[in-house]
Amino acid sequence: MAACSVEALLAKAEQEEAEKLRSISVHKELDLDFDVGNLLASDKNRIESRDFKQQKKEDFLRSLARDNTQLLINEIWKLPTERVEEAIVARLPEPTTPLPREKPPPKPKAPTKWEQFAKLKGIQKKKKTNLVWDENAKEWRRRWGYKRANDATKEWLIEVPETADPNEDQFGKRIKAKKEKVAKNELNRLRNIARAQKVKVPGVGLVPTAQQSKDELARAVSVAKTSTASAGRFQDRLPKEKAPKTGKKRKFEPLIGDFSNERQKQLELLKIMDGKKPKLDITKAVNKQMREEDREEAAAKYKRGAGKRGRKGNMSGKGKGKGARGKGGKAGGGRKRAKPGKH
């Protein structure tokens, strides 16, 4: 009995091991259609109803999914592989099957004036290092910003040019030129924003001149204030200036995640499309019918009143006809509208 039990255990263990180390080769009558870029495999083989009935439904579907997944993995490992951080990865090709999207793809941003010029002239962007050597301080410093290298504004001595006025303040002149440069860069930034939003702004910028109208100035101020990250919400306003109108932010459902809400919407839409009888708002229909009847009754009373005024004028030759007003004060009577409720 002990020998039989040991042999049975060994046979069972070998069977389990063979099941675990199942061959990676899968036989199919028709080859699957693979789109490795989307990790997609389409099986066109017919499912035999006899096999489906003999096995359990879950076991049959699990076996079919396992075989197709194995074929897809075999196709993936046919691609060139490389090692990244102690892991072997395969480079997927471009997908060939177009998949539908729930929302349209985002529109590309409009190129700025500099980007258009660089593309026209063939200028390529080169990445600069953040640190440069400062000859005066004899150390590496930042290229831009606070404590930058070769900062001309920190010089204590400036040579006066020969053509310049000897009494002119060269330090003040340099500070003024710096402010003008900063203002010009800000103006170009606002123009790029206005061009991307397809908004017309004054050609000479935000400086008021005699050629600019009130609407142009107001539009330029609006663009300047709404160009901040808060869309002008925290910008100072004049005493009688109105707050800028900002539209409501649209809320989009996530493309990846819980699809229960989307599934519910699709089911409701299919239910409405598949319904035999369309939905009828009884309250709205009753009010519409009552308005039409009131309109017809008022038109009939107006015609009768006009006829009486005409006959009275022909007989007496003077006086004015009365309007077609009823006792209720308004033509068409005083019927009340139906209130919404259960019907």
Q: Taking residues 176-180, report their average pLDDT.
A: 90
**Predicted confidence band at 292 (pLDDT cuts at 50, 70, 90)?**
very high
Query: Would you put residue 303 in left (φ > 0), alpha (ψ -120 to 50) or beta?
Result: alpha
Answer whether 173's CB lies under 8 Å from 165's CB.
Answer: no
Q: What pLDDT does residue 254 have? A: 63
Q: What is the pLDDT of residues 87-107, one digit of tens each?
A: 888 888 988 888 888 888 888
Single pTM value for the model: 0.29
Q: What is the pLDDT of residues 207-223, one digit of tens each?
A: 555 566 777 777 777 77
Q: What one-character DSSP code corresponds to residue 154?
A: G
Answer whether residue 343 shows pLDDT above 60. no
Q: What is the pLDDT of residues 102-154, one digit of tens each?
A: 888 888 888 888 899 999 999 988 888 889 998 888 899 998 888 888 887 77
3-state helix, strand, coil in the chain (%, to 5): 45, 5, 50
Q: What pLDDT does residue 260 have? A: 64
Q: Taking residues 170-185, report their average pLDDT.
A: 89
**H-helix segments, the chain:** 2-20, 49-54, 57-76, 113-121, 170-196, 214-226, 260-274, 282-316
Max alpha carbon distance in the chain (Å)?
135
Element housing 34 (H / E):
strand 33-35
Tokens of 18: 């063979």
Q: b/e map of 148-161 (b: 16 or more CB within 10 Å)?
A: ebeeeeeeeeeeee
Phi, psi torsion values for 142, nearest 5 degrees? -70, 150
Element housing 63 (H / E):
helix 57-76
Q: How far is Cα 304 from Cα 79, in angstroms, rounded to an integer?
A: 91
